[in-house]
């Protein structure tokens, strides 16, 4: 801190809680911003400075909190000088961004002194909040150039004058510029949104932190919570581009959820404490600085991913070869590895016909004729399987002309729905294909031979025919037939 007559103390070793300075301004100013009021100039001379560090009260409603003085030139704060009546929320997106990102406990570390000095520069010069200043607004470098030394400062003794001027001050200048640039770019209107999606293609959680304008806001720490998968890391840092965290799904069919939480995010406002209104022998509220402290909130998002089941289909027609028409055919279909208990929406079984034999292919050829489509209601069982059968496919007597060959094939499929991926088997699968070959009816012979006569056993058991009746004309099957009457020769 830099307070009073060029007083510099460590960030954590706050200004002492003492009464007002002897030259305390009497009467509360009714203005904000920079003043050159002649009545107060003697308190804000060129050698006078103001507090450039966090004040940590040891008493009062802000006890233990890090607060920042905002009224250049007024006496340092006093913990007992505030109560809830003077507490308010002030919209200040850029200042809120700076405090939320960089205002952290410093543990009296010399190497972190520059952070508080850089924050203090923005607190004192911010035009987002009202000030009761009696000092002109000056840059951090203007204030710190030529500052004196407080021999009681542990940090200054520890680091040494050269290191303070060469390292601490130069770092404070750089940090102050960086804080201002980032706040202008990323604060927006002070609202922020976390986003997370599970990208199944890359097996990763994609995390973003954006402001009100959709700009990615880098530099804030987030925490992932993952269920159903193992994340490469659960601690992330927001970036200028979405951050991808690889996921290893624990199940073959992923069922995962991911949530991200960014805590310590700015709210777009700061909390302001005005000194309370009372008088005491050692206290005058008009001499105490108003202070502000950061407000932080949490932004979170979540996403879930139910991996798609990849059903495997097999089927069998009720008959694989037909030689007589009319007849009927059914198809029994079995699914495995479908989403347990879920309906299989838009399941269908299409029937195609082709002349001759059907060759197997991924899709139906252009000349294949779609002759029927069945749309059964299908729900996967709790064990991830289901069987269903189509209605009867009726094949009329004239479906195939006798002597010709034709084939029909069944193709079962469904589009992706719910937790099931799209599925189908090939066209012309043998177990799904029926060959139809109806033979021609037998025609009668144009010239049949009709034989008449009697069979008589011969002595030797052999056949021994004699013509006995000359020639007889017979009419048979529409033609003239010559028949010979034969008689067995006997021993008599």
**How many angstroms separate the CA atoms of 152 and 184, rounded?**
38
Residue 458: closest CA among 413, 489, 423:
489
Q: Are 315 and 388 in contact (CB under 8 A)?
A: no
Q: Are 59 and 113 in contact (CB under 8 A)?
A: no
The phi-psi region of residue 131 (left if phi > 0; otherwise alpha if psi is between -120 and 50; otherwise beta) is beta
Residue 268, pLDDT score: 97
On whether both 28 and 148 belong to a single domain, the answer is: yes
Does pTM surpass 0.75?
Answer: no
On whether both 43 and 85 belong to a single domain, the answer is: yes
Radius of gyration over alpha carbons of the chain, in Å?
49
**How many angstroms separate the CA atoms of 410 and 348, rounded?**
10
What's phi and psi for 96, nearest 5 deg?
-60, -40
Residue 153, pLDDT score: 53
On whether both 45 and 161 belong to a single domain, the answer is: yes
Instruction: Identify the DSSP state of 361.
Output: B
Q: How many CB atoms lie within 10 A of CB 340?
A: 15
Helix (H, G, I), strand (E, B) or coil at 349: strand
**How many angstroms separate the CA atoms of 333 and 336, rounded?**
10
What's phi and psi for 224, nearest 5 deg?
-95, 140
On whether both 238 and 221 belong to a single domain, the answer is: yes
On whether both 387 and 457 belong to a single domain, the answer is: no
On whether both 91 and 229 belong to a single domain, the answer is: no
**How many angstroms separate the CA atoms of 295 and 91, rounded?**
11
> Mean pLDDT for each 10-residue chunk of the chain (492 residues)?
31 32 33 28 42 77 89 77 92 98 75 82 92 78 60 60 80 94 97 95 94 97 95 96 94 88 97 77 67 97 90 96 95 95 95 96 95 97 96 95 94 94 96 94 63 45 41 39 38 40
Residue 120, pLDDT score: 87
On whether both 287 and 151 belong to a single domain, the answer is: yes
- Provide the domain count of the chain: 4
**How many angstroms separate the CA atoms of 386 and 335, rounded?**
5
On whether both 36 and 169 belong to a single domain, the answer is: yes
Residue 443, pLDDT score: 67
Alpha helices of 408-456 — where are they, by DSSP H? Answer: none
Integer CA distances (angstroms), 342 to 184, 200, 256, 307, in order = 51, 21, 18, 14
On whether both 145 and 253 belong to a single domain, the answer is: no
On whether both 159 and 241 belong to a single domain, the answer is: no
CATH of the domain at 227: 2.60.40
Beta bridge partners of 350: 373, 411
Q: What tokens does 476 get?
A: 């048979």
On whether both 457 and 478 belong to a single domain, the answer is: yes
Residue 53, pLDDT score: 72
Max CA distance (Å), the chain = 176
- Which pairs with CB-CB distance under 8 Å and at least 24 residues apart come from 106-112? 106/10, 106/11, 106/12, 106/54, 107/12, 108/10, 108/11, 108/12, 108/13, 108/154, 108/155, 110/10, 110/155, 110/158, 110/159, 110/168, 112/11
On whether both 390 and 486 belong to a single domain, the answer is: no
CATH of the domain at 319: 2.60.40.3930
Which structural domain, as residue segments, surrounds residue 63? 2-188+272-292
């Amino acid at each position: 801190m830099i307070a009073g007559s060029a007083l510099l103390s460590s960030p954590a070793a706050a200004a002492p809680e003492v009464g007002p300075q002897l030259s305390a301004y009497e009467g509360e100013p009714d203005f904000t911003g920079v003043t050159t009021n002649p009545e107060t100039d003697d308190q804000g001379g060129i050698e006078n400075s103001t507090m450039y560090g966090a004040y940590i009260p040891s008493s009062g409603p802000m006890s233990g909190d890090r607060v920042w003085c905002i009224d250049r030139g007024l006496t340092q704060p006093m913990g007992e000088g505030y109560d809830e009546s003077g507490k308010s929320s002030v919209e200040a997106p850029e200042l809120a961004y700076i405090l939320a990102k960089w205002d952290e406990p410093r543990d009296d570390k010399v190497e972190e002194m520059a952070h508080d000095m850089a924050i203090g520069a923005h607190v004192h010069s911010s035009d987002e909040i009202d000030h009761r200043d009696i000092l002109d607004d000056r840059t951090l470098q203007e204030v710190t150039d030529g500052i004196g030394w407080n021999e009681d400062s542990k940090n200054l003794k520890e680091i040494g004058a050269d290191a303070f001027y060469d390292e601490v001050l130069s770092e404070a200048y750089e940090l102050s510029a960086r804080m201002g640039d980032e706040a202008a770019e990323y604060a927006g209107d002070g609202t922020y949104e976390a986003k997370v999606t599970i990208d199944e293609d890359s097996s990763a959680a994609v995390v973003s932190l954006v402001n009100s304008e959709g700009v990615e806001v880098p530099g804030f720490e987030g925490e992932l919570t993952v269920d159903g998968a193992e994340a490469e890391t659960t601690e992330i840092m927001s970036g200028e581009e979405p951050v991808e965290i690889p996921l290893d799904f624990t199940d073959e069919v992923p069922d995962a959820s991911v949530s991200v939480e960014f805590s310590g995010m700015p709210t777009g406002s700061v909390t302001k404490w005005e000194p309370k209104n009372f008088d005491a022998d050692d206290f005058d509220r008009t001499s105490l600085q108003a202070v502000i402290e950061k407000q932080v909130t949490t932004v979170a998002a979540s996403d879930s991913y139910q991996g798609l089941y990849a059903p495997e289909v097999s089927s069998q027609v009720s008959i694989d070869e037909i030689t007589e028409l009319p007849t009927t055919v059914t198809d029994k279909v079995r699914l495995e590895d479908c989403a347990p208990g879920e309906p299989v929406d838009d399941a269908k079984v299409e029937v195609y016909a082709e002349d001759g034999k059907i060759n197997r292919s991924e899709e139906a050829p252009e000349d294949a004729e779609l002759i029927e489509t069945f749309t059964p209601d299908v729900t996967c069982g709790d064990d991830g399987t289901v069987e269903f059968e189509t209605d009867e496919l009726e094949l009329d007597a004239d479906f195939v002309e006798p002597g010709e060959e034709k084939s029909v094939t069944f193709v079962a499929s469904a589009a992706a729905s719910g937790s099931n991926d799209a599925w189908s088997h090939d066209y012309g699968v043998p177990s799904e294909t029926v060959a139809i070959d109806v033979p021609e009816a037998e025609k009668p012979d144009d010239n049949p031979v009709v034989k008449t006569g009697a069979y008589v056993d011969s002595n030797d058991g052999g056949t021994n025919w004699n013509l006995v009746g000359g020639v007889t004309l017979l009419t048979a099957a529409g033609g003239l037939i010559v028949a010979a009457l034969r008689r067995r020769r006997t021993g008599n």
